[in-house]
């Protein structure tokens, strides 16, 4: 079975630029077909096209976000394949996002009044412009002519901060639909949990890299070990429960934060602030550090 999978994954059609076109051409076909027979003079129709382009793009973002972690957690033919093709999956995401940018510009320029009255928010503009700036920078530095202008450390910082920015921008949007506006559809649930799974794979891979070998003795034991292990497990469990059930706490915490004048002012200009959807993520990260600490490893 593994030999058959390895052979399949070596086929040219699903590797390198062939994979890029295999993904991008169907998405572009869907977008062009969806534009036919609709009236783009309607602002709501243009908004629906923006939403469609995002739905085509986001799964590719989550796959690219988790690619290196899949290779760490599941070394083998598939792990190597997804890591080798991460660049082309990411470029396919960028191509899908180009459709979104096209429709956003259409909305802004052709339906300015609707955009200003129904859509515009300064923090959203900062988040979106920042995301596109990072995405374009990541695309340019995915090729030799762009990468050669950065040191290895600069390239890594750009791509790591960029992929996290794009992931959080997408994932938080589905959190809002599920737990703040309470008006989700089935696809919102799928994308929300897919985004969380992508982050979970990264968190698991980070932990695995730092987990002590089975033959290596722990430097802590007994009571001191439990002092880290038990709160760590509790933090991870609480974070997971909070991710799963955001309605009982999310809206209240968010509105409490913006009830503070200083925080409200900061939130107008600061992307993602006050980071309420990410509180469970931060808690789970802290829990993972404590668990590693219980094993005698620095978090």
pLDDT of 273 over the 50 cut? yes
The region of weakest confidence among 72-81, 111-120, 184-193, 212-221 is: 212-221
Q: What percent of the chain has pLDDT over 90?
A: 69
Task: Return the pLDDT at 286.
Answer: 96
Mean pLDDT, to the nearest integer, of 213-226?
61
CB distance 123 to 273 below 8 Å: yes
CB distance 93 to 64 below 8 Å: yes
Rounded Cα–Cα distance for residues 290 and 275 (Å) = 22
The region of weakest confidence among 24-33, 162-171, 224-233, 270-279 is: 270-279
Q: For residue 88, what are the contacts with CB-CB under 8 A and spacing of at least 6?
A: 16, 17, 19, 20, 23
Mean pLDDT for the chain?
A: 90
CB distance 296 to 220 below 8 Å: yes
Task: Return the pLDDT at 4.
Answer: 84
Give the pLDDT band (50/70/90) at residue 119.
confident
Rounded Cα–Cα distance for residues 86 and 203 (Å) = 18
- Specify burial of residue 93 (Cβ count, 10 A radius: 0-12, 13-18, 19+): buried
Task: Return the pLDDT at 296.
Answer: 77
CB distance 276 to 168 below 8 Å: no
Task: Return the pLDDT at 299.
Answer: 67
Q: What percent of the chain has pLDDT over 70?
A: 95
Task: Return the pLDDT at 217.
Answer: 52
Give the pLDDT band (50/70/90) at residue 86.
very high
Structure tokens given for 150: 């950065």
This model's pTM is above 0.85: yes
pLDDT of 186 over the 80 cut? yes
Write out the DSSP string of 219-275: S--HHHHHHHHHHHHHHHHHHHHHHH--TTTHHHHHHHHHTSHHHHHHHHHSTTTT-
Could you tell me the end-to-end alpha-carbon distance of the chain, in angstroms, rounded to an integer?
Answer: 38
Neighbours of 97 (CB within 10 A): 24
| pLDDT tens per residue, range 221-240 | 567 788 889 999 999 999 99
Neighbours of 174 (CB within 10 A): 22
């Amino acid at each position: 079975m593994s030999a058959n999978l390895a052979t399949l994954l070596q086929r040219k059609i699903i590797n390198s630029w062939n994979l890029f076109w295999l993904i991008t051409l169907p998405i572009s076909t869907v977008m062009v077909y969806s534009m036919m027979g609709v009236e783009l003079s309607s602002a709501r129709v243009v908004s629906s096209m923006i939403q469609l382009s995002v739905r085509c793009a986001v799964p590719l973002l989550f796959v690219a976000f988790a690619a290196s972690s899949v290779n760490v957690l599941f070394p083998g033919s598939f792990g190597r394949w997804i890591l080798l093709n991460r660049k082309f999956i990411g470029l396919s995401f960028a191509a899908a996002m180009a459709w979104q940018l096209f429709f956003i510009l259409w909305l802004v320029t052709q339906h300015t009044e609707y955009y200003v009255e129904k859509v515009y928010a300064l923090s959203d503009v900062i988040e979106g412009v920042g995301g596109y700036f990072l995405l374009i920078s990541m695309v340019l530095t995915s090729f030799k002519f762009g990468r050669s202008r950065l040191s290895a450390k600069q390239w890594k910082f750009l791509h790591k901060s960029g992929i996290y920015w794009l992931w959080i921008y997408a994932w938080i949007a589905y959190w809002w639909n599920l737990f703040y506006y309470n008006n989700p559809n089935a696809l919102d649930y799928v994308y929300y949990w897919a985004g969380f799974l992508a982050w979970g794979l990264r968190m698991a891979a980070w932990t695995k890299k730092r987990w002590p070998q089975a033959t290596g003795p722990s430097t802590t034991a007994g009571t001191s070990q439990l002092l880290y292990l038990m709160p760590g497990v509790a933090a991870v469990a609480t974070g997971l429960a909070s991710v799963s059930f955001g309605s009982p706490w999310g809206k209240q915490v968010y509105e409490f934060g913006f009830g503070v004048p200083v925080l409200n002012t900061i939130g107008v200009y600061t992307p993602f602030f006050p980071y309420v959807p990410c509180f469970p993520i931060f808690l789970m990260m802290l829990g993972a550090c404590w668990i590693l600490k219980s094993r005698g490893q620095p978090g």
